[in-house]
Amino acid sequence: MNPGSRMPESSALPSQASTAPSTDPGVAAERTVLGEADIARALTRIAHEIVERNKGAADLLLLGIPTRGVQLAHRLAERLTQIEPAFDGEYGTLDVTMYRDDLRRQPTRAVGQTVLPGSLDGTIDDKVVVLVDDVLFSGRTIRAALDALNDLGRPRVVQLAALVDRGHRELPIRADYVGKNLPTSRSERVRVRLADVDGGTDSVVISGVAP
Amino acid sequence: MKHLLTTQGLSKDDAILLLDTSAQMAATQSRENKKLPTLRGRTVVNLFYEDSTRTRISFETAAKRLSADVINFSAKGSSVSKGESLKDTALTLHAMGADAVVVRHSASGAAHQLAHAGWLDAGVLNAGDGMHQHPTQALLDAFTIRRHLVGNVGTGVPGSRQSTDTSAGADLSGLRIAIVGDVLHSRVARSNVYLLRTLGAEVTLVAPPTLVPVGVETWPCRVSYHLDETLEQWQPDAVMMLRVQRERMSGGSGSFFPSPMEYSRKFGFDARRLAVLPDHSIVMHPGPMNRGLEISAAAADHPRSVIVEQVANGVAVRMAALYLLLAGTDETGTEKTGTEKTSTDERNTL
C-alpha cells in the first residue's frame, strides 16, 4: 500500500526483463510462481501435515474463507478423506465480511455465506477448526475470521492453512500450514487462480507493479 | 446506495443484492449469539411521527443486532408536540451526529425531503411516508416470497456444499402475486407493485373500485374488482392481504364500502378462498391484522400463512438495508462494487 515504505525492495522485486511474458513496457509484468501440479502437491502435503499434527482427523473441521479459500477447503477435504477414511469429507465456509476492520474505508462489500456442515447441528464447540485461505498477507482477514468464529462457538483449537504466505504481516498471526512462502514487495499483487472459480488452470501469479 | 426511500426506480441488481444480503443476515439470526460487530460506533435514529409497533421494533432490533447505537424519537412526548418543524428536528439530529435516520411520517415525501434538503448528511431509510412508500416492507415481502416459492427454504438446514439458500441471486420471474384490499391508502401496495415488477413477478391488485387510487393505470400491474374471479382464474402463487386503514377513512367506514360485513364477504380472505388456490401458494399480511374483516382467523393461522415469518424476515431485511447503507465509505458514493471477486482481490492487495 505504501510505496515509500522502508522495505528492502531491491531483492524482493522481480526484475521485469527476465520474467515478464509481455514485452510491452506499459503492462505490469506477470510471473507464475506456482503451477497446477505445484498447487496439487502443496495441498497434498498440507493434508498430511494436518493429520500428522492432530494425530488423525477426529473432530476436524475445515472452514474455507470465501472465495478461493472455500475451494481450497474442498480440495483439502477430498485429500483428507483419502488419507483418513474416518474423515467424513465435510467442510464449511466462514464469511468474515461483517467482522472486517476496514469496512468504513472501502466501498460497501457484499456479504458472503457462512455455512457449517449439517452434521454439526450449528455448533463448532470443541472442534479442531482449520481455517483455509488462499493468500496470507496482513493477517487482518484472519483476525476477522477469529472474531467470526468466536460468535459461532468455542472451538478447542484453531489452526490456519494458507496456500501462499507473502509476508508483510500487520498483526501477530502466523499460519500453521503453508503451501509456499513467497517473498514479495508490498507493491506487488499476488493472485491465486483456481480452475473452479476463475476458469483456466490453477496458478499463483505475481504481478509486479513497477515502483 | 446512500438512502432507501422508494422501491420505484430501485434497480434490479440493487434489489437482488438487498435480498441476498438479507439471506445472509437471516442465517446469522438462527445462531445462539445473534449480535454482529459490523456497525459498532454508528448511531441510528428512529424518527417516528406516526404510531408503529412492528416497524419501529424491527428497525431497533436490526440496528442493535449490528451493534449500532439506537436512539428512539417519537413525535409524542417530544418537542414536535411543541410545534418543532421537521427541519429543526433534522438539524438537531445532524448536530448529534446521526449516521442513519429511519423516518416514518404521515406526509408523503417526508423521507425524500429529509434526504435531499441538505439538513443532514445521514443516510435516510423510509419507514413509511403517508400513502406513498414503505420500501423495507416490500423488500421483506419479496424476501419471504423468494424463500418460499423460489428457494423452497423453510428455516435453512445447513449442508456442507454451500447451498443453504438455494434462492441466492434469483429474481421472482413468472410468479403471480395478488394484492388485495385497501390499495388506496396503502403504501405497502405501492412499494410492492414496483418492487415485485422489477423482480419479474406479475402483480394484480384486487379491490373495490372505491379503494383503487386515481392513476392506477400508470402502475405496472393489472387491476381487478373481483376477488373470487382472480383467485379461480388467475391462480396466484401468493396472496397479500392489505389492512383496511379505517384511521385514514375520514368519513368512517361507510364512505368507501357499505358495511364491514359486505367488505368481508366480497374481499375478505378465508379458508374457503384459500382452498381455491394452488397447493404451494402462500398467504401474507403486512400487519396489523383486522381479523374478521380482511382476513379470517382460520386463514391467518393456516399453515400456509407466512404472516409471522414476515415479521421475522423484517429484521433480516432491515439489517441488510442498514448494512448496505452504512458499512461502506462515506465519500466515494457507494456504488455496488462489493462483488465477491473484488473483495478477495482487495484482501490480497491491502
Using an 8 Å CB-CB cutoff, list chain A residues near B66.
98
Mean pLDDT of B218-232: 96
Closest CB to A107 among B162, B335, B344: B335
Complete DSSP assignment for B97-114? T-SEEEEEESSTTHHHHH
**Average pLDDT score, chain A:** 86
Residue B340 has pLDDT above 50, yes or no: no
Residue A26 has pLDDT above 70, yes or no: no
Of all residues in chain A, what percent carry a pLDDT higher than 70? 85
Closest CB to A70 among B33, B162, B168: B162
Tell me, yes or no, whether B208 and B302 share the same domain. yes
- Domain ranges, ordered by start, for chain A: 36-184
Complete DSSP assignment for A8-38? -HHHHSPPHHHH-S---TTSPEEEEEE-HHH
Q: Which residue has the higher pLDDT, B182 or A29?
A: B182
The predicted pLDDT at position B252 comes to 52
Tell me, yes or no, whether B146 and B111 share the same domain. no
The predicted pLDDT at position A36 comes to 94
Tell me, yes or no, whether B79 and B143 share the same domain. no
The predicted pLDDT at position B287 comes to 87
Mean pLDDT of A8-24: 42
Answer whether B350 sits within 8 Å of A137, measured CB to CB: yes
Instruction: Round to whole Å and give the CA distance between B105 and B124.
Output: 13
Q: Is B137 annotated as a binding residue?
A: yes
Tell me, yes or no, whether B262 and B143 share the same domain. yes
Look at residue B91 and tell me if it is in a domain: yes
- Substitution target in A62, A75, A98 with the highest count of B β-carbons within 10 Å is A98
In the DSSP assignment, the letter for residue B81 is: G
C-alpha cell recorded at residue A133: 485461505
Q: Is B104 annotated as a binding residue?
A: yes
**Average pLDDT score, chain B:** 87
Size of interface A-B (CB pairs under 8 A): 128
Confidence grade of residue B76 (pLDDT, cut at 50, 70, 90): confident
Q: Is B147 annotated as a binding residue?
A: no
pLDDT digits (tens, 9 = 90+) for B125-155: 999 999 999 999 999 999 999 999 997 654 3
Tell me, yes or no, whether B323 and B289 share the same domain. no
Answer whether B323 sits within 8 Å of A111, measured CB to CB: yes
Type of residue numbered B270: D
Residue A194 has pLDDT above 70, yes or no: yes
The predicted pLDDT at position B31 comes to 86
Q: Is B158 annotated as a binding residue?
A: no
The predicted pLDDT at position A8 comes to 39
Other CB atoms closer than 10 Å to residue B212's CB: what's the count? 18
Residue A95 has pLDDT above 60, yes or no: yes
Answer whether A111 sits within 8 Å of B344, measured CB to CB: no
Least confident of A131-140, B121-130, B316-325, B341-350: B341-350
The predicted pLDDT at position B160 comes to 29
Least confident of B19-28, B158-167, B335-344: B335-344
Residue B344 has pLDDT above 60, yes or no: no
Give me the torsion for CA of B75, B76, B81, B86, rounded to 10°.
Answer: 0
Look at residue B214 and tell me if it is in a domain: yes
Of all residues in chain B, what percent carry a pLDDT higher than 90? 74
| Domain limits for position B79 | 12-133+311-332
**φ, ψ for residue B96 (rounded to 5)?**
-85, -5
Of all residues in chain B, what percent carry a pLDDT higher than 70? 88
Tell the CATH topology of A36-184.
Rossmann fold (3.40.50)
Tell me, yes or no, whether B189 and B324 share the same domain. no
pLDDT digits (tens, 9 = 90+) for B27-50: 999 888 899 999 999 999 999 999
Using an 8 Å CB-CB cutoff, list chain B residues near A107.
328-329, 332, 334-335, 337-338
pLDDT digits (tens, 9 = 90+) for B268-303: 999 999 999 999 999 999 989 999 999 999 999 999
Tell me, yes or no, whether B139 and B251 share the same domain. yes
Tell me, yes or no, whether B120 and B248 share the same domain. no
Tell me, yes or no, whether B274 and B317 share the same domain. no
Mean pLDDT of B108-116: 94
Other CB atoms closer than 10 Å to residue B109's CB: what's the count? 15
Q: How far is B157 from chain A (nearest CA, A)?
A: 7
The predicted pLDDT at position B164 comes to 52
Confidence grade of residue A185 (pLDDT, cut at 50, 70, 90): very high
> Can you say whether residue A3 is alpha, beta or left, with left for phi > 0 and alpha for psi between -120 and 50 degrees?
alpha
Most confident of A194-208, B205-219, B246-260: B205-219
Look at residue B192 and tell me if it is in a domain: yes
The predicted pLDDT at position A47 comes to 96
Answer whether B37 sits within 8 Å of A116, measured CB to CB: no
Tell me, yes or no, whether B325 and B305 share the same domain. no
Q: How far is B19 from chain A (nearest CA, A)?
A: 11
Residue B161 has pLDDT above 80, yes or no: no
Cβ atoms B139, B7 nearer than 8 A: yes
CA A130 to chain centre: 11
User: B281, B305, B309: which is closest to B295 by C-alpha?
Assistant: B305
Q: How many domains does chain B have?
A: 2
Look at residue B114 and tell me if it is in a domain: yes
Closest CB to A110 among B66, B158, B339: B339
The predicted pLDDT at position B84 comes to 86
Instruction: Round to whole Å and give the CA distance between A9 and A2.
Output: 12
Q: Is B35 annotated as a binding residue?
A: no
The predicted pLDDT at position A27 comes to 52
Least confident of A198-202, B122-126, B258-262, B331-335: B331-335
Confidence grade of residue B330 (pLDDT, cut at 50, 70, 90): low
Whole-model pTM: value is: 0.85
Q: Is B176 annotated as a binding residue?
A: no
Mean pLDDT of B231-240: 96
Most confident of A107-111, B14-18, B251-255: B14-18
Answer whether A109 sits within 8 Å of B328, measured CB to CB: yes
pLDDT digits (tens, 9 = 90+) for B265-276: 999 999 999 999
Using an 8 Å CB-CB cutoff, list chain B residues near A78.
none
Tell me, yes or no, whether B274 and B146 share the same domain. yes
The predicted pLDDT at position B315 comes to 96
Tell me, yes or no, whether B22 and B120 share the same domain. yes
Answer whether A110 sits within 8 Å of B35, measured CB to CB: no
Using an 8 Å CB-CB cutoff, list chain B residues near A141.
347
Mean pLDDT of A69-73: 95
Other CB atoms closer than 10 Å to residue B225's CB: what's the count? 15
Residue A22 has pLDDT above 60, yes or no: no
Other CB atoms closer than 10 Å to residue B250's CB: what's the count? 7
